[in-house]
């Protein structure tokens, strides 16, 4: 009886988000993006600007659009560990990833022509910065220590990959936080997406602090 009641009262994060909640998430994400930009600036020796473009309230809609576009992309994948649990990603289409890796490897406006080991290493390093700041800001605000594994790089169809993740649990599509961010270095701009699929435990912590 208790388990049944727990199932019935389980709340879907994306259904509960208000405009005030979204504004708060934007503020947290903007701070994370700014700190990431500062770290990447030090790597490149030039100013890097960042901007949060959008926060998606219905993540499944975005996944369906990506499946329709059939975009090949770069997915930086990291697991949350030690208690809270979940999955976090930074996702870019292939064109953006090649532009960014070209910048990171000192090629100026010239984008990388292939995804070799040097490009993969540079993108993993930036992924670690982006995801680390993203999780640190969320953890600091909610007073939750969120640790993550070093990001793995996957070269795959974005929509198909995200759909496969959602297939693990119905709750993932209801609780995902997805935000689009723009990164500009030396006049070259690329777009990517922060994605957080929190575990049930982490979702409950968010709910307790947001509502």
Give the domain CATH number at 106. Answer: 3.40.1550.10
Residue 77 falls inside a structural domain: yes
Residue 185 falls inside a structural domain: yes
Residue 96 falls inside a structural domain: yes
Residue 124 falls inside a structural domain: yes
Q: How far apart are CA 5 and CA 20, in angstroms?
A: 29
Range of the domain at 31: 16-210
Q: Report the range of poorest mean pLDDT among 33-47, 110-124, 169-183.
A: 169-183
What are residue 76's phi and psi, to 5 degrees? Answer: -100, 115
Confidence class for position 60, pLDDT limits 50, 70, 90: low
Q: How far apart are CA 197 and CA 211, in angstroms?
A: 19
Q: At a CB cut-off of 8 Å and minimum separation 6, what does 35 contact?
A: 133, 136, 137
Exposure of 137 in the CB half-sphere (CA atoms within 13 A): 20
Residue 1 falls inside a structural domain: no
Residue 9 falls inside a structural domain: no
Report CA-CA distances (Å) from 173 to 45, 55, 73.
39, 14, 20
* Model pTM above 0.85: no
Tokens read off for 121: 């290493």
The domain tally of the chain equals 1
């Amino acid at each position: 009886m208790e388990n049944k009641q727990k199932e019935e009262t389980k709340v879907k994060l994306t259904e509960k988000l208000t405009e005030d909640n979204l504004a708060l998430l934007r503020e947290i994400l903007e701070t994370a993006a700014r700190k990431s930009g500062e770290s990447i600036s030090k790597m490149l020796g030039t100013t890097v600007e960042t901007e949060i473009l959008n926060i998606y309230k219905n993540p499944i809609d975005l996944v369906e659009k990506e499946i329709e576009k059939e975009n090949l992309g770069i997915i930086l994948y990291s697991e949350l560990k030690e208690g809270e649990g979940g999955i976090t990603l930074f996702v870019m289409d292939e064109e953006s990833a090649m532009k960014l890796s070209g910048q990171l490897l000192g090629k100026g406006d010239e984008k990388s022509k292939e995804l070799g080991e040097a490009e993969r290493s540079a993108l993993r390093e930036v992924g670690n910065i982006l995801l680390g700041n993203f999780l640190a800001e969320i953890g600091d605000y909610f007073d939750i220590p969120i640790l993550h594994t070093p990001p793995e790089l996957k070269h795959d169809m974005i929509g198909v990959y995200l759909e496969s993740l959602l297939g693990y649990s119905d709750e993932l599509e209801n609780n995902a936080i997805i935000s689009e961010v723009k990164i500009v270095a030396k006049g070259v701009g690329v777009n990517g997406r922060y994605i957080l699929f929190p575990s049930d435990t982490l979702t409950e912590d968010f709910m307790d602090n947001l509502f």
